[in-house]
Structure 1
Amino acid sequence: MDNSDLSYKKINSVKAIIENPEEKILLIQEPETDEWMPLHWGLPGGRPKVKESLHDAFKRTLQEEIGVDIEPLGIYRIEELLHDDRTVLMFIAVAKVFGEVDIKGRIKTFKWVTAEEIEKMDTLEFTAFYAKKLLLDYLAGNREYIDFNLVETQQYYDLDENPEFQKWLESGKKNVKSSS
């Protein structure tokens, strides 16, 4: 069986829609040194680390980028970005923020924007091609999201000592060997 078409990279990324009481959305500006979209505007977030759940990645990346604690309320959208050599699953959550934004680390600056201001922005100004439409949909009232409790993290690396897990894992290896 040829698996060469399955060897591309799979990347998870987390982004957060943060709205203030005036119904403005937080956008961050990437620095000039950003490899992907220097000086473009986008939602705060990042990539999960190895063995880090999506929930924990949201909390960590937002603390690192904008200096506040957040609580992800739910997943608003999952954008699947198919590139030539990789697939990126962009998990976009709605989050509640605790405290004042204080940019840290690599972020150049930030701003709070209204729907009217987003409408005036060119798609070329955003870090993601889909961002303008996504934010306008959200601000137009399409604010349904799925509860974060529906994302259940299975920490397989913690199950190494579990006999039932080992039995299950071995059953898969036996099936692969017998079908060869």
Structure 2
Amino acid sequence: MTTTIEEIASENGLELIETTAERSGYPRGLQKAIIGFDTFDEAEKLAKEHGLDIEIFTKRDGWNFWYRTGDKVWEPFERSADEYGDDYHKYSKEDFDDFYENEVQPFVADFDSFEQLRSFLNNMEHVKDEIENAEDDEIVIARIDGYCETIKAKTMEYEYDTHHYAIGLIDRNYEID
């Protein structure tokens, strides 16, 4: 007897989602998929056991359905400051020891007043503290005007600016209406 995707999700404590073939989120060719994995290895193990495909799903705030991108993946998402824009930088634990030398000292002369310099130094001290407190698998996202957020460097799902991204499993072995 074949195990259904619903049973796989339930037995493994994973999230069952409804997906669409439409990039706009409109319901067409609906199909179930599974997300909620902690690691890529977990997804890979279940995919091999049940003959499922590993791919990326996306969704926007307010949508009922996840979009099936068809993009196959072989590793978790690797997050970076590039997702946030040109003025953002990422820092990891390795950047802590040289943070002042590389990220603060070169800019001190750029300020025209004590107030501007004080604000910059306070912002950079906050960023330094966040770097120090970050876990080994996390990165700190910041701009010159201060700390933005601390995120997992590699992850199976995340959201940013009304968009949701997840790596999950789907059965591509049968035709959809």
After TM superposition, the score normalised by the length of structure 1 is 0.24
Larger Rg: 2
Higher relative contact order (CA 8 A, sep 6+): 2
After TM superposition, the score normalised by the length of structure 2 is 0.25
